[in-house]
Amino acid sequence: MRAVILGAGVVGFQIAEHLIMEGKDVVIIEQNIERAKYLSERLDCLVINDEGTNISSYKKAGMSDASIFISVTNSDEVNMIACGLVASEFNVPLKIARVRNIDYSKSKILGKSFLGIDLIVNSEVETARQIANTIALGADSDVVFFENTDLQMRNIVINHDSYFANKTIKEIRKAINMPFLVTGILRKKDFIIPTGDTTILEGDNVYLLATQKDFTKIFIQAGKKQERIDRIVIVGGGRIGALACEYLIRTGRRITIVESDYERCKVLSNRFPDALVLNADISDENIFQEEELGKHDLIVCVTDNQELNMLISMYAKIMGIKRSIALVTNSSYLAIASKLDIDVTINPKISTVDAIMKFIRRGNIKSLHSTFNGKAEVIEFIVNDNNPLAEKQIKEIIFPTNSIILSVVRNSTNILPHGNLVIKPGDLVLMIAEKSSIPEVEKFLQE
């Protein structure tokens, strides 16, 4: 499979990394000469330094043999026009465009394969939805939602007084009499798929799988206090901040927006008359005292400066705010953020890459989620009659390296896996695998 990617910013680079690791033939078209040189030195693929709206560039990229075209430049118009050119000149089955302008992404014409586009991805919309969903669950951990089940994956960072510290998973499961599974552990830079004998240590970032109802009880037993969230301060009134406000204000919560740009504040005030809009610099510590921000229940930091987002999220909790959410655009910062006193980190790049990777997967795979700071992926798929898992006990199946079944959903019932469980056609299976094992897992599921 050949994939041609136009635009190699953060999202394009990440998508290319995913596809290269899976053994795909990747070609990148990047106009900026310095960026193209950077990509050539770090990615094992062909990089063409050229404009993305030239037919000659596409011919150089071997577009006639491509199965996928992904346009993720910084211009919505270029992304859409590029898909239109590819659709008119080449027979490429899948054409994907990132479109960040809300007016474009809501347009009805885009639902009719406008300009040959097969998938529109809007990272700001997906990020704002993720923020709203996380807040609805208490904003006390990162959350991975699955489309076809009420199961969720959430995390707990283990400190010295945590109930989980220095206990084996067997001991924890015996003490917490609830149906849940420890799906994986991030320990420093290592990703671990645990067994019952694995001991959880201080500093571990532990991910659990359970239903929303059960998570409430599990977190209480684990000593993670639940907080009521009524008053929210959003720092940054850009696209993501405005969309998050739009979702949250519908819930009846009291919203305060802090934005440094005066003209943008006027726009926000007109758009959200029920919200308090403050024209202020959040890095000025006096703003917390003058506006009594410390009395809020949650702070959501979504400025364009990820370092500021992380710093203010921590400082706000010192000033009395109970929960914090920080927008972190650089994946390499996620591991650092998980060690800080930040309850939830949101990464727009991961949500965009997940949406694109899900769309280009083959077979019965329903969704795919990058997790554990990008070190692993959770795959959600339906078992058909020809699947190698069908009619077999789990203990009989030889799984690819560093992969394991997390859950089986049968007739809307969640079943935690055990050796004697027989996988049936029609079952929905959640499976986790280390990132390097994904090509082997994908091949395994297609056999």
Tens-place pLDDT, residues 268-317: 999 999 999 999 999 887 899 888 899 999 999 999 999 999 999 999 99
Cα–Cα distances in Å, from 83 out to 45, 53, 198? 21, 9, 49
Q: Which structure tokens are listed for 48?
A: 């063409």
Burial of 270 (0-12, 13-18, 19+ CB in 10 A): exposed
Q: Amino acid identity, residue 192? A: I
As given in the structure block, the two tokens for residue 123 are 């990272």
Pairing mode of beta strands 25-30, 167-168: unpaired
Domains of the chain, residue spans: 2-121, 127-134+227-346, 143-221
Cβ atoms of residues 146 and 124 within 8 Å: no
pLDDT value at residue 371: 75
The Cα–Cα gap between 178 and 217 comes to 8
CATH topology of domain 2-121: Rossmann fold (3.40.50)
365-371, strands of its sheet edge to edge: 365-371, 376-382, 428-434, 403-410, 413-415
The strand pairing partners of 94, in sequence order, are 68
Ranges of residues in the chain whose predicted pLDDT is under 50: 105, 108-110, 112
CATH superfamily label, 127-134+227-346? NAD(P)-binding Rossmann-like Domain (3.40.50.720)
Token digits for 240? 């993501």
Q: Are strands 2-6 and 68-71 parallel, antiparallel or unpaired?
A: parallel
The answer to whether the beta carbons of residues 408 and 429 sit under 8 Å apart is: yes
Q: Give yes or no on whether 2-121 and 143-221 have one common fold.
A: no
- Identify the CA nearest to 21 among candidates 48, 44, 46, 47: 44
Contact 201, 166 (CB under 8 A): yes
- Burial profile 28-43: b = 16 or more Cβ within 10 angstroms, e = fewer: bbbbeeebbeebbeeb
pTM over 0.75: no
Is domain 143-221 annotated with CATH 3.40.50.970? no
* CA 324/CA 241 separation, integer angstroms: 14
Burial tier of 424 (Cβ tally within 10 Å: 0-12, 13-18, 19+): middle
> What pLDDT does residue 213 have?
81
The per-residue pLDDT for 202 is: 86
pLDDT by residue (tens digit) across 205-224?
888 888 878 887 787 777 66
- Residue 109, pLDDT score: 47
